[in-house]
């Protein structure tokens, strides 16, 4: 998405969620995104139903409410949708991104031209429902690992073109961001080292890490390990060669073995578990002692929060 790539020298993890959204998707880029999405819905003819049904001078008050409790997210996107689709309308957000909302509580109210409010309705609900759903699901994962050392992270398994919004939503739910894209960190995956024995794989990773650090300001260098033999080769590298070992689809016993080996020989190395992590399994994974758990389901499978717009006066 144009305008969405923050400099890798920015410490994104240190930013508050609102500042993160501004860094990844500045206001002009958000406005352009909303304009494209509205154009997709309105086409050239506009809202033909409201044009036929609603008097051009009609004004109304409407309130955005969740049908179920959750974590609010997407309020600034909702305001931008209204600004573009209902010029002259006045909207007030009653919650901030990251705040919990009860079923039926007012999230946002708007007063203005009814045709414009109805033109904005579905686009606004799509943004808020999607982003609030991700924030809500993330909060469930974060609560599930509370009291352990593990941090819940997102992945690059995001909706094309909406990554900045979805990573912001993860932060609003209390999770952390992994790489923003291919540009800000080095992550060596199995396809990068296909066919290499563990020792050769580790040597290739070490050489590539030196070259990458010399050329780029990287947030971290990470190497995926599919089994204990690969992990033993990575953990034997000099300290600082690799920052994080990604333990992909390993069982609990293998994770505990990796933690013990790390603790004994490379205590500075962070360990990240990944691969098919579910809400039902994340606590047991966290209790193995790993530091990070990356969960694709935060973004690729989070259900939308059910939200609706109720017209209260016309």
Strands (E), the chain: 59-66, 70-71, 90-93, 100-101, 108-113, 151-153, 186-188, 221-225, 244-248, 270-274, 292-294, 307-313
As beta bridge partners, residue 65 has 308
Buried b (16+ CB within 10 A) or exposed e, 242-273: bbbbbbbebeeebbebbbebbeeebeebbbbb
What is the C-alpha to C-alpha distance for residues 306 and 64, in angstroms, rounded to an integer?
Answer: 11
Active site residue 270: no
Q: Is 167 a catalytic residue?
A: no
Indicate the Cα dihedral angle 168, 177, 66, 101, nearest 10°.
Answer: -100
E strands, 166-313, in order? 186-188, 221-225, 244-248, 270-274, 292-294, 307-313
Catalytic hit among 22, 226, 248, 272:
248
- 242 in Cβ contact with 269 (< 8 Å): yes
Which residue in the list 122, 204, 256, 270 is annotated as catalytic? Answer: 122
Active site annotation includes 189: yes
Question: Which position among 41, 61, 99, 157 bears the catalytic label?
Answer: 157
| 208: its two tokens | 């590539």
Q: How many CA atoms lie within 13 A of 260 on its CB side?
A: 7
Residue of 36, 100, 103, 189 marked active site? 189
Catalytic residue among 224, 226, 272, 291: 224
**What six digits make up the tokens of 114?**
């009814």
Tokens encoding 206: 């070490």
Q: Could you tell me the CA-to-CA distances from 251 to 119, 121, 165, 170, 280 in Å, in that order?
A: 50, 46, 32, 26, 14
Instruction: Specify whether 157 is catalytic.
Output: yes
Nearest to 20 by CA among 128, 198, 172: 172
Q: Is-catalytic flag, 292?
A: no
- For β-strands 186-188 and 270-274, DSSP reports them as unpaired
Which residues carry out catalysis? Answer: 122, 157, 189, 224, 248
């Amino acid at each position: 998405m144009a305008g969405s790539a923050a400099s890798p020298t920015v410490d994104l993890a240190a930013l508050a969620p609102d500042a993160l959204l501004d860094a990844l998707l500045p206001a002009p880029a958000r406005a352009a995104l909303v304009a494209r999405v509205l154009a997709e819905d309105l086409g050239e003819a506009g809202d033909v139903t409201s044009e036929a049904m609603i008097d051009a001078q009609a004004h109304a008050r409407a309130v955005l409410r969740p049908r179920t409790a959750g974590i609010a997210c997407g309020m600034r996107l909702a305001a931008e949708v209204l600004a573009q689709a209902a010029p002259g309308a006045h909207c007030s957000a009653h919650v901030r991104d990251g705040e919990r909302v009860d079923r039926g509580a007012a999230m946002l109210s708007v007063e203005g031209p009814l045709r414009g409010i109805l033109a904005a309705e579905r686009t606004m609900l799509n943004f808020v429902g999607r982003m609030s759903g991700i924030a809500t699901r993330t909060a469930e994962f974060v609560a599930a690992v509370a009291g352990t050392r593990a941090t819940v992270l997102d992945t690059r398994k995001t909706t094309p073109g909406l990554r900045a919004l979805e990573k912001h939503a993860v932060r609003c739910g209390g999770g952390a961001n992994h790489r923003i894209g291919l540009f800000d960190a080095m992550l060596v995956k199995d396809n990068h080292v296909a066919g290499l024995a563990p020792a050769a794989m580790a040597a290739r990773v070490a050489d590539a890490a030196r070259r990458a650090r010399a050329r780029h300001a990287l947030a971290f260098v990470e190497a995926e390990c599919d089994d204990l033999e690969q992990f033993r080769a990575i953990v034997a590298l000099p300290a600082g060669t690799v920052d994080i070992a990604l333990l992909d689809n390993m069982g609990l016993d293998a994770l505990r073995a990796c933690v013990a080996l790390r603790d004994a020989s490379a205590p500075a190395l962070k360990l990240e578990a990944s691969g098919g992590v579910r809400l039902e399994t994340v606590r047991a994974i966290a209790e193995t002692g790993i530091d990070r758990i990356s969960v694709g389901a935060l973004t690729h499978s989070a259900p939308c929060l059910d939200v609706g717009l109720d017209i209260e006066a016309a």
